[in-house]
Structure 1
Amino acid sequence: MKQKTKIIAITGAESTGKSTLAKALATHYNVPFVPEFARSYVEQLHRSYTYDDVILIAKKQIEQYNEMVLQQPPLIILDTWLLITKIWLDVVYDKVPSWIEQAIKEIHIDTFLVCDIDLPWVPDSVRENGGIDREKLQQTYIQELKNYDFPYHIIKGNYEERKKAVIKVISSLD
């Protein structure tokens, strides 16, 4: 009998090690992961992103999720997820389409890993929210997880400590 795929979504404010953690877990478990689409998409734009760009990003996140689920790996690791995109739409544009809210409610995630802001914020060409904005967004992500009643774990420490903590979390999902 085939074991059910476990789905882990990594979330948290900017510059908290989400991508590094996703790659490390994919290597550790020898599974593919869904990379952060928003970053690569926005980096290739030669203009400021728009509301329509963020909508496209949301649709792509759902598409990538569905493609990965069809492959039926034992574990799916999502480097960021639709929840961040929803908050991005709300904060920047003050409007979120109802289909995104519905997708967040309906698409199955076994647990969320919230990378804490205990790592220093490192600016780059895409990041916009350091300092107090980073702290506020982090609290918003956690509050949204609570609002949806999603299971989550706050992951702290250096990169190796985070990886070890997450391996324990994933083991507990069995």
Structure 2
Amino acid sequence: MKPLRISLVGAESTGKTWLTQALAGVLRTRGQGVRTVDEVLRHWCDRSGRTPLRHEQMAIAQQQADAAHPLSQPAPDTWLLSDTTPLMTAVYSHLLFDDESLYPMALAHQALYDITLVMGLDLPWVADGLQRDGPQVRGSVDTLVRQALEHSGMPYRVVYGQGPQRLNNALLALGLEGEDASAQHIREQGQFAINQGRSVWQCNDCSDPACEHKLFTRLVKQRSAD
């Protein structure tokens, strides 16, 4: 499989940084070259001792984009993993300041990635000083992230699970072999049971890029309408 440019986005305290480093570690042990991009906002808050104001959002988003370059022409044998993107700055600017002006720039940058992984909300919220507002904002942030991606026509894959399970689900969503050899078999068996109507669908047990449950549900609705 050729190296990919991967972005990890999602609400606060959903494991973006942990998963970025975990994926990088797995890829390196498999002999792949990897470049990771850190979250600019975290360093900005640490240096400034506060969160940014409305007029400072665009500069932070641009710094995040610049940190990923030369993203448009990466080394041909190197995977790129970006722990957040300007899209998250745009979402928070929208949520906190009712400012939607960052979306064009953020989505133009987002389009440079091969795959976007959206972090599921199944991890417990953990305080992190200035960096996090509280668990009450996670649902709103998650909704805005998905809306932005969907409205722009950008596909994404949601990753759920705790610890090693989250890592396995991310690897499978990327089309890679999981670290746990049984992970893919368990997921495939679960999907078969779901599609045969023998078990209840649970999105937190899946990160299937094709979303067989969605396809199956759409087919059932179409047949019912005929």
Q: Same fold (TM over 0.5)?
A: yes
TM-score (norm 2): 0.67
- Structural mapping, 1:112-127, within 5 Å: 112-127=116-131
Residues 1:101 and 2:104 are matched in the alignment = yes
Moved over 4 A (4+): 68-71
Assess if the C-alpha contact under 8 Å between 2:92 and 2:141 holds in 1: no
Question: SS at 2:132's partner residue?
Answer: coil
Distance in 1, matches of 2:126 and 2:167, equals 20
Equivalent in 158, 162, 165 of residue 162 of structure 2:
158
Assess if the C-alpha contact under 8 Å between 1:43 and 1:125 holds in 2: no
Amino acid at match of 2:67: Q
Distance in 2, matches of 1:76 and 1:64, equals 11
Distance in 1, matches of 2:129 and 2:106, equals 29
Distance in 2, matches of 1:24 and 1:4, equals 19
Deviations, residues 12-67 of structure 1 (Å, cap 9, x unaligned): 11000100000111111121210111111112213442223322211111111223
Q: What CA RMSD, in Å, does the superposition of the two structures yield over aligned residues?
A: 2.3
The structure whose Rg is larger is: 2
Residue 153 (structure 2) aligns with: 149
Greater relative contact order structure (CA < 8 Å, 6+ sep): 1
Deviations, residues 124-160 of structure 1 (Å, cap 9, x unaligned): 1123332332112112211221111111111111121
Residues 1:23 and 2:27 are matched in the alignment = no
| Percentage of pairs with the same residue | 26
Assess if the C-alpha contact under 8 Å between 1:105 and 1:148 holds in 2: no
Assess if the C-alpha contact under 8 Å between 2:12 and 2:138 holds in 1: yes
Aligned residues: 170
Equivalent in 63, 82, 86 of residue 60 of structure 1:
63
Assess if the C-alpha contact under 8 Å between 1:111 and 1:150 holds in 2: no
Residue 49 (structure 1) aligns with: 52
Question: SS at 2:129's partner residue?
Answer: coil
Q: Alpha-carbon deviation of 1:70?
A: 4.6
Amino acid at match of 2:42: R
Question: SS at 1:151's partner residue?
Answer: coil
Residues 1:35 and 2:38 are matched in the alignment = yes
Assess if the C-alpha contact under 8 Å between 1:86 and 1:101 holds in 2: no
Distance in 2, matches of 1:97 and 1:142, equals 17
